[in-house]
Amino acid sequence: MLKIDNLHARVEGKEILKGLTLSVNPGEVHAIMGPNGAGKSTLGNVLSGREGYEVTAGSVTFNGIDLLALEPEQRAAAGVFLAFQYPVEIPGVNNTYFLRAALNAQRKARGEQELDSMQFLKLVREKLKVMQISDELLHRAVNEGFSGGEKKRNEIFQMAVLEPKLAILDETDSGLDIDALKQVAQGVNAQRSPERSFLVVTHYQRLLDYIEPDFVHVLAGGRIVESGDKTLALKLEEHGYAWVREHGEPAGASA
Amino acid sequence: MSQALPFVEAMGAATLPVSGIAWLDASRREHLDAFVAAGLPDTRMEAWKYTALRALAQRRFAAGDARAIEHAVDPAVFGLPGVYGPRLVFVNGVFRADLSMLDALPAGITLQPLSQALRQDAESLRFVLSRHEAEQGDAFVRLNAAMATDGVVLTLEAGAKPDAPVHLVFLGAPAEAELAWHLRTIIELGEGAELALVEHHAASGEQQHFATLVSDTYLRDGAVLRHVLLQQAAAGSSLIRRSRLQLGRRAQVSSHVLELGGALARHDVRAELAGDGARFVTRGVFMPRGRQQVDTQLAIRHQALGTASDSVWRGVADQRGRGVFRGAILVAPGADGSDASLSNKNLLLSPNAEIDTKPELEIHADEVKAAHGATVGQLDERSLFYLRSRGIPMAEARALLTVAFCRAVLDDLPVTALREHLAGLLALDLPT
């Protein structure tokens, strides 16, 4: 489904990703872990097409198409979703209006029928139940005045409505207390399916107690230096990232 | 030098309208002579610093449209949801009884064209018609005083509170020549009267006319005016307006303004908070694009105890559009305990767009609360990316954020249907 091959990317002239290679199949959950500055957030931003991230080498294909050639909105329509580490507050834009505009824009781009307001409302009601989000959040402006936990839950709720093929969770656990973390994880788990893949980017192992990954990769110095199953996350928790650096980083690849 | 300008020359050569009312005809002659002598203002004058009239000065306009009564007009061009009350329609400056709706006026309201009012009782209008000019009106006020033969006279008796909003429609329609037309509006709300008023400048087809509108509004003690100004003049037209409002004790004005049309749209508003506890609230959006120039000049004068004014304005300029906003608040000596706030935030959607904003505050009284500020910025890149990452295309994302930026201006508009319609106009006016 997602094939990242030898990806190099720069931000503000500084090379952050230095030959990242990763393959994700439908239904798989991959955790990307790594120390601060390893390039974790850069990966999510490059995949979703944020401006200011320059790909200098390598390729990314998504279901056979060149993902890097697409505009952000085309990537979304193709099924890529990024749950932001810092969701943006947009005063004056109603949450429901925004979500319907987004869903219908994606459907239109895919040549599907747009949903009218009744159909959309029905869909939203179903998804609200799963996410345990109160209606009240829907009537507010996008993320405006939301608590940290509400913002992250709103991200996952958007994901539930948009039903992407690949969801990238960018440090979704950051800033959450344990209850909020559990709620968010529950929302994610409810959306796991044989067709949907996840890239869970996180600094801490904690999130992976609740979202169980099929694979864990360690990102350091702009590339993946170690891959394994979920036990790798536990090793990291025990030994710290210094262990990976000594243990796994190839010679000459230091950041 | 100014006599040589084609604009002034053409106006000066026009035949003055004759009313048969001695004082009025004499005053028209005086004003035309004064206009020709002084010519047009230039950018050396503070009030015209950012709006150059060079292009206008080179043009010649024909005075009046002899066939204005014949132009076919589709009522859809001025229809507004939620606005279904009495209506007065002018096409190219000429009253159109066939498009107006003046029968079955609610109790306590008098609404008629100025031409008719002058025929019935000119003397009662003498004071008001002389007033604007007496106070050193500029070129356009003089021109209006000389040439305006029609307009609106609207009076509400004390305590009258008609339900339906009154709709004043000023339409431009294509004619054989580029026209100049001039209208004069006089509105008086008696003690405790309440009125909803929609002032609507619209276009019935493309044209490049020049128009002036001078209006006076008097609110007696406790009167309330809810005013909506929708300016959708033709893209090639020039529209110069001068509005003066005088508020008595505890009188209240709330004004929602959308400045969308015109090649050159200038509006000077002077609000005099003359009675204790008077309150003046404005909410406005101006949106110049293409080569439009939209210039709004607010002058709010707190002249009595405990008066309040609150102004929230948004400007959005795209392409080569040019916006000018001046918000001048004066708290006069003795206007103690007044409360004045003014905010003007602006958005530039293109590197060639320009907005000049100037808040001014002058306080000569005690215990005054005053706040004012102005900003000019661009669309937030993070917000744009957020919307696009959810599948919303660039143009739509820009439009969504721009409407959101302006939305606060419409939020407290009481008529839901009209509010939604106006919000829709904001979105429509954005290039995609």
Residues B47-78 pLDDT 10s: 899 999 999 999 999 988 888 889 999 999 99
Q: Would an 8 Å CB–CB cutoff place B427 in contact with chain A?
A: no
pLDDT at A247 over 80: no
- What does the block give as tokens for B212? 């002036």
CA distances from B45 to A31, B77, B101, B207 (A): 67, 37, 42, 29
pLDDT at A157 over 80: yes
User: Model's pTM, two decimal places?
Assistant: 0.88
In a mutational test of the B interface, the residue from A48, A50, A155, A166 whose CB has the highest number of chain B CBs within 10 Å is A50
Mean pLDDT value across chain A: 91
B342-381 tens-digit pLDDT? 999 999 999 999 999 999 999 999 999 999 999 999 999 9
pLDDT of residue A245: 66
Searching chain A, which residue's CA lies closest to the CA of residue B402? A92
Max Cα–Cα distance, chain A, nearest Å: 59
pLDDT of residue B313: 97
Three-class SS state of B60: coil
- C-alpha–C-alpha distance, residues A65 and B194, integer Å: 64
* Residue numbers in A near B382 (CB within 8 A): 88
Asked if B391 lies within 8 A of A105 by C-beta distance, the reply is: yes
- Which residues are paired to A169 by β-bridges? A83, A200
Searching chain A, which residue's CA lies closest to the CA of residue B391? A73
Select from B383, B390, B403 the Cβ nearest to the Cβ of A102. B390
* Residue numbers in B near A72 (CB within 8 A): 385, 388-389
Question: B 364-393 residues with CB below 8 A of A?
Answer: 380-383, 385-393
Chain A nearest CA to B341, separation (Å): 21
- C-alpha–C-alpha distance, residues B341 and A232, integer Å: 60
A32-59: average pLDDT: 93
Which is nearest to A164 in space by CA: A85, A78, A69? Answer: A78
**Confidence grade of residue B3 (pLDDT, cut at 50, 70, 90):** very low
Q: What is the number of alpha carbons within 13 Å of residue A218 lying toward its C-beta?
A: 27
N-to-C CA span, chain A: 30
A47-100 tens-digit pLDDT? 999 999 999 999 999 999 999 999 999 999 999 999 999 999 999 899 999 999
The total of other beta-carbon atoms located within 10 Å of residue B389's CB is 25
Buried residues in B182-218 as b, exposed as e (16+ CB within 10 A): bbbbbbbbbbbbbbbbbbbbbbbeebbbbbbbbbbbb
* Residue numbers in B near A95 (CB within 8 A): none
pLDDT at A249 over 70: no
pLDDT at B180 over 70: yes
- What does the block give as tokens for B30? 């005086």
Residue A107: burial class (beta carbons within 10 Å; 0-12, 13-18, 19+): middle
